[in-house]
Amino acid sequence: MLTTMTDLNQTLFNRAARVIPGGVNSPVRAFRAVGGTPRFVQRAQGAYFWDANGQKYIDYIGSWGPMILGHGNPVVLEAVQKAALDGFSFGAPTEREIELAEEILKHVPSMEMVRLVSSGTEAGMSALRLARGATGRSKIIKFEGCYHGHADALLVKAGSGLATFGNPTSAGVPPEVVQHTLVLEYNNVAQLEEAFQLHGKELACVMIEPIAGNMNFVRASVPFMKRCRELCTEYGALFVFDEVMTGFRVALGSAQSVYAQLIPGFQPDITVLGKVIGGGMPLAAFGGPRAIMQQLAPTGPVYQAGTLSGNPVATACGLATLKEIAKPGFWDSLSARTHSLVHGLSAAAAKAGVPFSADCQGGMFGFFLLPELPQNYAKVMTSDSPKFNKLFHGLLDRGVYIAPALYEAGFVSAAHTEADIAQTVAAAAEVFAQL
Ligand code: KE4
């Protein structure tokens, strides 16, 4: 167990809370769902970070997805240092934005063009405006438990953050802003059919997390995904894949390449990306067919802009990251490591008689203290929060850092070793025995 005389994390947290709301710049970091003191990161390297007390942790958050290579990858670091020497930001086009765009398009064939922005929220918000502008329609469908960033129209029964606070919508979002947003149950084909029968011709888009990482880890079933695609095509609505979390994280071709193997010819219309494509720097993107993307300013009527969009240092970080994960063998090795973690945790839970179900794809994993994998938000909500909180803190005390919220996914990086996995599983076995 870890004990420290003066907990410098608490000292920093108290100081932070005086000048930053909740002491954090993003709610989930405050540990509100799990209780206790957030760990203030002093530095990170590979699969680890060290907190204000100098305590080391195996990091399974990796900045909520971006750090797929692990922290401080030397190739990426060198690219960033080199780019910084040439200038931080110009507000003018650069060659590297073209290189990053070309690299993204190479791996995501559903996209012919892409626009770079600075956050997943900005990308999702812009994709929504594009879908509405391109179709001339206002209504949209999203699914309960999915989170697409905090743009007003999308902040309705979001899965991340808000679900943890049990607050299905946010204050400050006027009812008229969300009146066009239909929230359906994930994986519910009947409800989807009904919504299209009622509103199909008014629908600008259906927006979905193909693997819902904001409900921890819930896959869209093949029949459900197939039906979303068919109905969007039939009614002229655009199918928007929010791959901010799954993009370049579950596979080099992102989640859409996983579904294209299960549903021949499957492609979404618009894809939203973030996290991994920035390699940890503020960078996100959205893209799709040329005919749709040309609707964006300055070539079309849908306005969208950004001072730091395509930032030269962030694009260097993202491009170096994508080049590394495209190297032969990367995905076999990463997937093997993630599977080894999930199998180890499942075996440890079974041995301790703890109800447990887990799933993973590429470098992303999730688990539930439930006997079987939940298929939607309501089922995820039946999870035993107090028990999860005990697991969270038991692991944290043993130097293993998983998401401080039941509804968040976990991430393995290329820097995580089998020894790290073994240490994690051993720690979990101890905690499961106490549950
Ligand atoms: P950002 O604006 O946080 O870059 O991206 C928003 C977003 C959009 N779409 C999906 C599928 C996402 O998962 C996210 C952000 N994910 C959360 C973690 N669940 C970021 C962590 C946080 O909010 O602090």
What's 425's domain CATH number? 3.90.1150.10
For ligand 1, say whether the CB of 212 is within 6 Å of any of its atoms.
Answer: no
| Residue where one domain finishes, among candidates 295, 325, 355 | 325
| Position 364 in a domain | yes
Residues near 407 by beta carbon (within 8 Å), at least 6 away in sequence: 145, 159, 160, 163, 164, 214, 215, 216, 380
| Position 262 in a domain | yes
For ligand 1, say whether the CB of 26 is within 6 Å of any of its atoms.
Answer: yes
Q: Respond yes or no: is residue 56 known to be catalytic.
A: no
Residue to mutate, 25, 147, 402, ligand 1, most ligand atoms under 8 Å from C-beta: 147
80 shares its domain with 67 = no
171 shares its domain with 246 = yes
Contact by Cβ (8 Å): 420, 78: no
266 shares its domain with 311 = yes
For ligand 1, say whether the CB of 269 is within 6 Å of any of its atoms.
Answer: no
In the prediction, which pLDDT does 157 show?
66
| Residue where one domain finishes, among candidates 301, 325, 349 | 325
SS3 173: coil
User: Nearest 5°: phi and psi at 218?
Assistant: -125, 120
Residues near 231 by beta carbon (within 8 Å), at least 6 away in sequence: 192, 193, 196, 200, 206, 237
For ligand 1, say whether the CB of 243 is within 6 Å of any of its atoms.
Answer: no
Q: What is the pLDDT tens value at each position of the chain, 435 positions in all? A: 555 568 999 999 999 999 999 999 999 999 999 999 999 999 999 999 999 999 999 999 999 999 999 999 999 999 999 999 999 999 999 999 999 999 999 999 999 999 999 999 999 999 999 999 999 999 999 999 999 999 999 988 644 543 333 344 788 888 888 888 899 999 999 999 999 999 999 999 999 999 999 999 999 999 999 999 999 999 999 999 999 999 999 999 999 999 999 999 999 999 999 999 999 999 999 999 999 999 999 999 999 999 999 999 999 999 999 999 999 999 999 999 999 999 999 999 999 999 999 999 999 999 999 999 999 999 999 999 999 999 999 999 999 999 999 999 999 999 999 999 999 999 999 999 999
The alpha carbon of 149 and the centre of ligand 1 are apart by a number of angstroms equal to 6
Q: Respond yes or no: is residue 359 known to be catalytic.
A: no
The single residue of 259, 275, 377, 407 carrying the catalytic annotation is 275
Task: Report the alpha-carbon angle 311-312-316, nearest 5.
Answer: 115
Residue 183 sits in which domain range?
74-325
The alpha carbon of 406 and the centre of ligand 1 are apart by a number of angstroms equal to 15
Encode burial over 38-61: b for 16+ CB neighbours within 10 A, e otherwise: bbbbeebebbbbebbbebebbbbb
| Residue where one domain finishes, among candidates 270, 296, 325 | 325
Ligand 1 closest atom vs CA 161: 23
The alpha carbon of 37 and the centre of ligand 1 are apart by a number of angstroms equal to 22
210 shares its domain with 267 = yes
Q: By alpha-carbon position, which residue is closest to atom 21 of ligand 1?
A: 64
| Position 390 in a domain | yes
| Position 171 in a domain | yes
92 shares its domain with 221 = yes
162 shares its domain with 239 = yes
Question: 26 is written with which tokens?
Answer: 């993003």
Q: Respond yes or no: is residue 157 known to be catalytic.
A: no
260 shares its domain with 341 = no
Q: Return the number of other C-beta atoms located less than 10 Å from residue 26's C-beta.
A: 11
Number of domains in the chain: 2
289 shares its domain with 229 = yes
| Position 1 in a domain | no
What's 145's domain CATH number? 3.40.640.10
Which amino acid is it at 63?
A: S
286 shares its domain with 223 = yes
Q: Which residue's entry shows tokens 């609707």?
A: 295
353 shares its domain with 222 = no
28 shares its domain with 104 = no
| Position 298 in a domain | yes
| Position 203 in a domain | yes
For ligand 1, say whether the CB of 161 is within 6 Å of any of its atoms.
Answer: yes
